[in-house]
Each structure stands twice: as C-alpha cells, then as structure tokens.
Amino acid sequence: MKIAIIGGGPMGLAIGYYAIKKGYSVDIYEKDNVLGGMSASFDFDGDIIEKYYHFFCKTDMALFELLKDLGIYHLLKWKNTSMGFYYKQKLQPFGDPISLLKFDGLDIISKLRYGFLAFYSTKLKNWSSLDRKYAIDWLKSIIGEKAYNVLWDKLLSLKFYQYQTKVSAAWIWNRIKRVGLSRDSIFKESLGYVEGGVKTIIDALSTHLKESGVNIYLNKGVDKILIENNALKGIEVEGEIFSYDKVISTIPINILQHVITDKNIASKYKDFTYLDVMCVVIKLRKPFSRYFWININDDEIKIPGLINYSALREDIKSNIVYIPFYLPKDSELLKKDESFIKDLCKTYLKKINKDLKDEDFLAFSINIYKNAQGVYEPLYLYKLPPINVAKDFYALDTTYYYPEDRGFSESVRIAKYVVDRYL
C-alpha cells in the first residue's frame, strides 16, 4: 500500500518512520529545500544550528523512544539551566523559590501565590475544567492582578497581541507544567539538547527513511489535495497529479482551505488563527548572560523574552542569542527591512546587558516561519475537524496535540498515534 505524507517536519518524518515499520511504501513531499520545518537548521556564520532555538524537557518521552530507536539516545545531554527576568531595568534571577522571594517588584503575598501556581501546575492532572477558562482569568484568579501584570501580561500580549484574551487556561497551564517538571529538584531546572542540535535527529531520521526506500522530495510543495465525493482522488504537485492509497497532511491546517479541492471540506479549516514568528539569531563576541531563558517586562522592549542559547548548548562554542518576535498577519514589523530589525535587536540586548558594545555583535540572521503559533481557544479540540476528514485522507498539525504546546516530542507522539490508529 502506498501513502504520501505532506510536510517533512518532525511529524511527517516520524509518520514515515512508523509507517514503514508497518510495511507501507512511503513518499514524503516537502516544499522547503531542507527537512525539519520549524525544527530545521542552517549554517549560521560557521555554526550549524536551529533556525528556531530548541530545548527538551524531562517529559518528552516520545522523543526519547525515537532517539533510542535511531541509536542516538546517548547524544541527549542535560544541563542545569536557570532563568532570568528583566524587570525594573535590571536582570533578576527567577524560576526557583529563593529567586522568587528575592524578586524586586512584588509583595510577599503575590510571590507566595505565584509559587503556588508553579507547584499546583505540576501536580494538576485533570485539565478539563481549565479547558473552559481563559488563561488571563485563570492566572489572575491564582496569582492576583498585581502579579499577573508584572509577570504575565507582557508575555501574553507580546505573543498573542489581539488574540491574548482568547487563549485557553489549559494551554498556558501545560506550558508552566512542562518546564516545571523538567527539574532535578525545586531549586534546579534541567533542560536537554541533542549533541549537534535538532539536525542530528532530523538527519538520523531522514537517513533511516531513505535507506528503507522512502522517497523524500524536497522543493516539492503539494499544491492541491484532490477530494471528490468525500474521498481522496490524489495530490497535485507542479501541475502533475499523483495517486496514492492514503495521504496524510502535516502542514498547518489553516493552509488546507486553499489546497483541498472539495469546497465543503476546505471550509472546515478556515476559522483557525495562526501567528507567524520571526526569530533573530545573533552571534556575540562575549557571553550575554548566565541565564538561559530571560523573560522581559519593560515598556521599551517589545518582546516577551529571549533565549541565551549558549547557556544550554555546551557543544557550541559561539555565543548565540535568539530573539523571537511573534507576529500577527497585520504586524508592521513584517514590513520593516533587515537593518531596522537588526538595530532594534541591538538596542534591546544593549539595554539588558549594559556591557555590550556595537563591536560585540558578530553576526545576525533573521528567520521567518509562517503559521508557527496557533491561537488555542478554550475547548480547542472540539473545534478541530477530525483527523480522518475524508476517505483515505488524514490531516493534522501541531495544534492537534492541544493542550500541549508545539514540541518536537509531541509531533513524534501524535505521528505514532496516527500510524497506530489509522494505518
């Protein structure tokens, strides 16, 4: 039986991986010139690194299984990392009980309530009641208005903009939980990476797939998915039509409204909102900070946080910082030129680390990924079209594992589920 997978990100590759184990013959179509999607890597001034920073957590079980299967589990490394918070014009330690108590900017009651949020989030198992609430209401009900304004408001507003009031509590809870559970103790955060970066995993997967006879077509975007009378007829690529027994799409589902030929089915995908992400990667002459993740609440800095990647990756010698800008489709930033973005990032970094001089900025790269971040409204799973939306056609993306946030491991987990359940 022959199947086509649309999308060569972790999910598409993992579906291919599990499908060949079941004896399927597999073709993978990827519109980009490299595999990986949001997990793709590139040559950044001599360092092969992710276009978008990646770290792993102790709960990423599906990923660990895959690494073992591929024989590269020994390359998974753990690092004790710490978090900072730029508030009141200073970079303060954050993310463990002592730092929280010392944090300048909150009263003791707010701090205790915030500590409770972090603890409670790691213990909560049944999230069904959170699925009916909005993140802002839920956060305020636990930590109070004051702590919400200091610790969360900027993070949500600079990630979701006009959609911030729509985000579900279950999604935000899950994000707090994932990092909260990736600890050696309440004082020690521990995050993971694979030596050589995510490229090591993508390369191992694609090598295995190719050796198993899978055809991987790069630079081949699927233009049309042909569906008639609720059944798959084939796919169209560069004007040619190809027939398959089954087709599985892993591309962001909001694109499907323009790709599926059956109007009725296409219309099921039109009401899903996504933001783009622009991630600026910067190489510095000296280390930026001792913190890995830095949250920011400052009226002059219009980003929710930044990632000091070198505090995680011991296999990279350069000092690398990622600045993610989440962008709604109407964002003015998307219209700005490269030099504007670079200057903006320089200003931000120099404000946070006063020792940085212009000559410390060695290299920049600006990467944009369209439809990178879904807006997860309450009861999100009930709004999604079924995975098996027409006979022999299946469609899902990173939002199908709500309330989990986008993650490499979650894409692998759902890939395995799809193969077990539908193939």
Residues that bind ligand FAD (CB under 6 A): 6-12, 29-32, 37-39, 52-56, 221-222, 250-251, 255, 277, 279, 324, 369, 372, 398, 406-409, 411
Q: Say how far apart CA 172 and CA 376 lie, in whole Å.
A: 9
Q: CB of residue 76 vs ligand FAD: minimum separation in angstroms?
A: 12
**Structure tokens given for 52:** 């978008």
Task: Determine the distance from the C-alpha atom of residue 374 to the mean position of all C-alpha atoms in its chain, rounded to a whole number.
Answer: 10
Q: State the DSSP code for 96.
A: S
Compare residues 27 and 47 and give the one whose CB is closer to ligand FAD.
Answer: 27
Compare residues 112 and 423 and give the one whose CB is closer to ligand FAD.
Answer: 423
Instruction: Give the SS3 label for residue 242.
Output: strand
Count of helices and strands (H, E) across the chain = 13, 20
- Give the pairing type, strands 183-185 and 188-194: antiparallel
Q: CB of residue 404 vs ligand FAD: minimum separation in angstroms?
A: 9
Q: CB of residue 162 vs ligand FAD: minimum separation in angstroms?
A: 20
Compare residues 151 and 279 and give the one whose CB is closer to ligand FAD.
Answer: 279
**Structure tokens given for 173:** 């809870």
Compare residues 113 and 413 and give the one whose CB is closer to ligand FAD.
Answer: 413
Q: CB of residue 84 vs ligand FAD: minimum separation in angstroms?
A: 17
C-alpha angle 237/241/246, rounded to 5°?
Answer: 95
Q: What is the 3-state secondary structure (H, E, C) of 77-140?
A: EEEEECEEEEECCEEEEECCHHHHHHCCCCCHHHHHHHHHHHHHHHHCCCCCCHHHCEHHHHHH
Q: CB of residue 307 vs ligand FAD: minimum separation in angstroms?
A: 8
Compare residues 54 and 246 and give the one whose CB is closer to ligand FAD.
Answer: 54
Q: CB of residue 225 vs ligand FAD: minimum separation in angstroms?
A: 9
Q: Specify which residues 307 forms β-bridges with.
A: 293, 322
How far are the Cα atoms of 46, 218, 252, 281 from residue 226, in angstroms, in the given order? 43, 21, 18, 39
Compare residues 148 and 160 and give the one whose CB is closer to ligand FAD.
Answer: 160
